[in-house]
Structures are given as structure tokens and as C-alpha cells.
């Protein structure tokens, strides 16, 4: 099940429906796909066990709870060997909501969410730039999130 070739059309249909609305009951999915609710349940357990589905979560709008600044942060490390230690330290910064190991100019690229620009400055100066091995950072403030979605599940044969 680890490879895409072992995910069949029914699995993809179930995943597509849940990606659009993760609260949809298995019974409703089953009805639309003309299978039993038990089949949907078994298929989802199989996808979870295989690591295809990594969980379900509630998504909130950070601005609605007072976090108005979203920024992206290019992080330059002094040495690549400091990556694991830097990740361990960055995991302790709750404002870091995504972190990627990257190629190109930056060693890492992070997404951070803060209440305002003062909070952003505090997070940068007191938590991120003090991490051993972080040489410097470059910050990009997001003015608007125009697209946010998961990858669309398509059959390989369809282009």
C-alpha cells in the first residue's frame, strides 16, 4: 500500500470526498459511491495504516483569533550539519507552523504566524535568530493567501 499503484479508484474517490469535507460521515460517502459504510471504514483504516492519511485536523483562521501576520522565513544555517539541532529548537517555537528543508539559497524555509509585527520581531530576535547555527534570516510578510489546497487526487491515466 506504500505506493500509489496500490491505491485504487475507490480509495481515490473516498479520499477526494474527505479532502473536500473531512466531517462527511462514512455512511454518506458509502451511499454516494454505492458501497457499504464498512467498506469505507476498512479502506480508511488501510490508508491510515499505510501512512497515506496522516490524520484529520480542525483548521482555523488565525486572523479570527488575533494572529494577523503570516510571514515566510528563509533561514540560513552556518553548516548543514546543524540542521537537526535547528529543527529541534524550531519545534519549540509555537509560532512556527511549517518548516521545510530546502535546496537553493536557504537551508530551511518556515511559515510563521504572529499577532502583529511587534510579535513577529520578538519571535525572530528572541527565539529564531538565537538558535545555534542560524547565521541569518530573511523575512517575507504575506499580504494575502490567495490559494491554499491539497494536491488533487487524479488517476494517472487521466491528464
Residues 69 and 44 in one domain: no
Q: Give the C-alpha distances (Å, rounded to integers) separating 142 from 90, 107, 119, 123, 146.
A: 20, 20, 15, 16, 10
Contact between 99 and 110 under an 8 Å Cβ cutoff? The reply is yes
Q: Are residues 76 and 25 in the same domain?
A: no
Domain holding 95, by residue range, is 62-141
Residue-level pLDDT, tens digit, the chain, 159 residues: 444 448 899 999 999 999 888 899 999 999 999 999 999 999 999 999 999 999 888 889 999 999 999 999 999 999 889 999 999 999 999 999 999 999 999 999 999 999 999 999 999 999 999 999 999 999 999 999 999 888 888 766 544
In a domain, 156, yes or no: no
Residue 107: helix, strand or coil by DSSP? coil
Query: Cell 458509502 maps to which residue?
Result: 30
What is the rounded CA–CA span in Å between residue 48 and residue 68?
A: 34
Amino acid at each position: 500500500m506504500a505506493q500509489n499503484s496500490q491505491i485504487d479508484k475507490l480509495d481515490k474517490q473516498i479520499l477526494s470526498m474527505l479532502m473536500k469535507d473531512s466531517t462527511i460521515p462514512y455512511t454518506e460517502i458509502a451511499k454516494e459511491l454505492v458501497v457499504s459504510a464498512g467498506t469505507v471504514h476498512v479502506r480508511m483504516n488501510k490508508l491510515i495504516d499505510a501512512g497515506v492519511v496522516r490524520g484529520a485536523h480542525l483548521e482555523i483562521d488565525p486572523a479570527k483569533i488575533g494572529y494577523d501576520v503570516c510571514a515566510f522565513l528563509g533561514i540560513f544555517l552556518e553548516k548543514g550539519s546543524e540542521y537537526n539541532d535547528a529543527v529541534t529548537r524550531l519545534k519549540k517555537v509555537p509560532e512556527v507552523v511549517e518548516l521545510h528543508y530546502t535546496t537553493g539559497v536557504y537551508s530551511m524555509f518556515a511559515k510563521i504566524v504572529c499577532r502583529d509585527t511587534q510579535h513577529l520581531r520578538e519571535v525572530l530576535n528572541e527565539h529564531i535568530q538565537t538558535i545555534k547555527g542560524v547565521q541569518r534570516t530573511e523575512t517575507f510578510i504575506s499580504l494575502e493567501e490567495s490559494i491554499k489546497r491539497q494536491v488533487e487526487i487524479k488517476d494517472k491515466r487521466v491528464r
